[in-house]
Amino acid sequence: MENYSSDLESKSAFDNFELQFTLPAQAFLRETAKWASFLSILGFIFIGLMVIFGLIMFAAGSAMGSLGGGAGMFGALGGATIGGVYIVIALFYFFPVLYLFRFASSTKQALNTNNTERLTTAMENLKSHYKFLGILAIIMIAIYILVFVFAIVAGVGAASGM
């Protein structure tokens, strides 16, 4: 069987290019790792607070639901819904924060030990961080578009029902 790969597929201009990892670049990456570590720790703290708030809303909703009819929108269903939403949001925030934390710790280890494999792992985690955020942004844009379309349809339906 013949191989029909072109020269472009087999050879890249970067194949003969040697990347220079200069001392200023290392210093910038070290400082980036420190800030990434700081932001990821803050992220973990806020995720913990969101989970605690979600659990409190579950408890408050069930307590108000047991009071009877005067609970209003913050009854058992409202509290459980709000609590569930906060816990789901915390779950979505957990993964990019975890990837950012892994990037920071792997980068620090790579720079302290001159370990190329650790630096590769760090870059892989940074890629995963941005990939997750990009996919999440696409999903959120799609949700906004759907909400906008449903709002227009509901508005037209309400206007034609008059």
- The identity of residue 94, as a single letter, is F
Percent of the chain with pLDDT over 90: 65
Can you read off the two tokens belonging to residue 12? 């890249």
Cβ neighbour number for residue 125 with a 10 Å cutoff: 21
The answer to whether residue 125 is domain-embedded is: yes
Q: Does the structure show a pLDDT above 80 at 109?
A: yes
Percent of the chain with pLDDT over 70: 80
Indicate the number of domains in the chain.
1
Instruction: Give the residue-averaged pLDDT of 127-138.
Output: 97
Nearest to 89 by CA among 128, 22, 143, 26: 143
| Mean pLDDT estimate for the chain | 87
Please report the pLDDT score of residue 60 as a whole number: 82
Query: How buried is 161 (Cβ within 10 angstroms: 0-12 exposed, 13-18 middle, 19+ buried)?
Result: exposed
CB-side neighbour CA atoms (13 Å) of 72: 1
More confident residue, 81 or 46: 46
DSSP output for 16-31: TPPPP--HHHHHHHHH
The domain in which residue 47 lies consists of 25-160
Instruction: Give the residue-averaged pLDDT of 15-33.
Output: 89
The answer to whether residue 101 is domain-embedded is: yes
The answer to whether residue 6 is domain-embedded is: no
